[in-house]
Amino acid sequence: MKLFGTDGVRGLAGKELGPFVAMKLAMAAGIYFRKTAKTNKILVGKDTRRSGYMLENALVSGLTAVGYNVIQIGPMPTPAVAFLTEDMRCDAGIMISASHNPFEDNGIKFFDAHGNKLGEEAERAIESIYFDDNTVMGERKTGRAIGSSKRIDDVIGRYIVHLKNSFPTDITLSGLRVVLDTANGAAYKVAPTVFEELGAEVIVINNKPNGYNINDKCGAMHPEGLAEKVREYRADIGFAFDGDADRLVVVDETGRQVDGDKLIGALALYLKEQGKLANDCVVATVMSNQGFEEFLKSHGIRLIRSNVGDKYVLEQMRKTNCILGGEQSGHVIFGEYAKTGDGLVTALQTIALVIRSGKKASEVLDPFPLYPQRLLNLQVSEKKPLEKIDGYEETMTKIKKEGLRPLIRYSGTENKLRILLEGKNKKKVDRWIEELEKFFKKALS
């Protein structure tokens, strides 16, 4: 059986991901991390979901049961947990969040002592321990060996200082009007504080979490509300975060949402012009637009593609010594300041780019045209290997001869086949996406 998906362990809180699963998972993780333990401390953070209380207590029980001391920091962004795990010299960090999912879901993400998301090998090792009842039960501690737990409420200051240090010291946000949508999530305190301290006039929306309203018609998944406020207040720019603030959506002064590939492209050129783009390369996923790749190439920047998921982006960044990587969805990693997607770091770098350009956001964040692209998700009963589907290879060959780029893959967390088709000719893209839908519905029925 498999616990981990694309980004940690995720499921319906109270059912697929209930207190018993969380406690046993914490015990298994604690046993795994103890092999390289140095401080015997594990940090635990969460977003604003009501189920976070249940899972947090279960995790603490599991970790202390195998002898770990736990530091609880309450609601904080996922990238803050990654940063603080290393900054506070913990053996590991755990974030309780289902990111952009609705409040009914929740998830558990793990970070190593350096604030890096765990690789697949580490996840398999934890799964192996989880399903080995003898090992889990045999590692329970008694007496003085049982761990302790304490809550620290002032770590937000450390993260705020870290964020401000990522912003150029020779400019301020004075005179800028910024709208922030914190999705009633983990950034509801941090984001307004950082932008206000840097001098911006800040309008904040969706910053009153009640345990149920995280991502509810707001934030990065629903930026239309942010766009409306940007226009209403005649703001210079708007930023929407998701529930755990590792994702960012940018809205320019006209209320137009900035495409994720265009955002990364503009930031890549900005870093290159400053002489800060190591190896003149950027990492993005196989989902990124061909127009993005051609734009980078025209400026002497190489695009390296990874599998979908920010942990795979980071893996490629390490291998190729790239300092910038990301996904269309808004997960952007600035290797100089973060080891996972950080919406706040990205927002600060974006507004620094706009200020230094001397242009409006709508001008500087629209640097190239995109190729027409269609994405289709098909529900499937089983994930039959693509290469074993009759006619699959022949169909892919035909599509490529038409000058189109197909990307067919199964979801890592759902029973869905994801079909992406891209090309310069929109009519061809539209025609072939319909053909592919018919083909796979018949082949996988």
| CB atoms closer than 10 angstroms to residue 224 | 12
d(CA 314, CA 325): 7
Token duo for residue 325:
């990587």
Please, what is the Cα angle at 132 between 383 and 125, to 5 degrees?
65
Residue 184: left (phi > 0), alpha (psi -120 to 50), or beta? left
Of 265, 317, 323, nearest to 289 (Cα)?
A: 265
Q: Are 390 and 408 in contact (CB under 8 A)?
A: no
Which residue is catalytic, options 99, 149, 166, 288?
A: 99
Q: Which run of H or E residues covers position 128?
A: helix 120-130
DSSP, res 236? S
Q: Where are the alpha helices (DSSP H) in 248-321?
A: 260-273, 290-298, 310-320
Residue with tokens 């103890």: 34
- Residue 400 backbone phi and psi in degrees, to 5: -65, -35
Using only C-alpha atoms, the chain has a radius of gyration, in whole angstroms, of 22
Confirm whether 99 is a catalytic residue: yes
| CB atoms closer than 10 angstroms to residue 154 | 7
d(CA 44, CA 38): 17
Q: Point out the residues that are catalytic.
A: 99
